[in-house]
Amino acid sequence: MPPLYRAVSHQRLDIAERLILQHGASVDSEYGGKSTLLLAIELRYPQAVALLLKHKAHVGYCCDFRGRGLLSVATAYDTTVAIVRQLLQQTDIDVNDRCSAGMTAVMYAIEHRQYAILQLLLLDPRVELNVENNVGQTPLHFAISKEDYLSVQILVQN
């Protein structure tokens, strides 16, 4: 296990920062096919996400074992708004990335009833609401199929 990955997994931000600054640890280190940034997102650890992003962690095509991009993972793990906000500030993140089931971050926000995150996602002009999942549902159709009428209201208002 790379030292930076270990430091983040044990929520030792002080050690993680020292490894990056003094020992040149790669912010893109991986263990078991999972990047350190993905680990920080799964752990709901916004300070580690901020540290890794500050040191230019790769946010392009990075996914978990289910094919979910960073933003979808952040939403699916019922993470904090702070992490989603940090990810949305990255210009090279694909906000419309689809997982192997065709789900986008917006759809994960609907599925997990993350209304604050859904509203935050909809504020981003890059988010497209006509992206379909693997069964041909747009986010609005998906919200209706989940009988999530609050999500339907939020989507219709936006």
State how far the Cα of 68 lies from the Cα of 89, in Å rounded to an integer: 19
| pLDDT for res 49 | 96
Model pTM score: 0.89
Q: Kindly list the averaged pLDDT for each block of 10 residues, start to end, along the chain of length 158.
A: 95 97 93 91 95 91 74 82 95 91 94 95 96 96 96 94
8: number of CA atoms within 13 Å, CB side? 33
| pLDDT for res 61 | 63
State how far the Cα of 18 lies from the Cα of 128, in Å rounded to an integer: 39
| pLDDT for res 158 | 80
3-state DSSP of the chain? CCHHHHHHHCCCHHHHHHHHHHHCCCCCCEECCEEHHHHHHHCCCHHHHHHHHHCCCCCCCCECCCCCEHHHHHHHCCCCHHHHHHHHCCCCCCCCCCCCCCCCHHHHHHHCCCHHHHHHHHHCCCCCCCCCCCCCCCHHHHHHHCCCHHHHHHHHHC
Tokens of 112: 């997990």
State how far the Cα of 69 lies from the Cα of 29, in Å rounded to an integer: 17
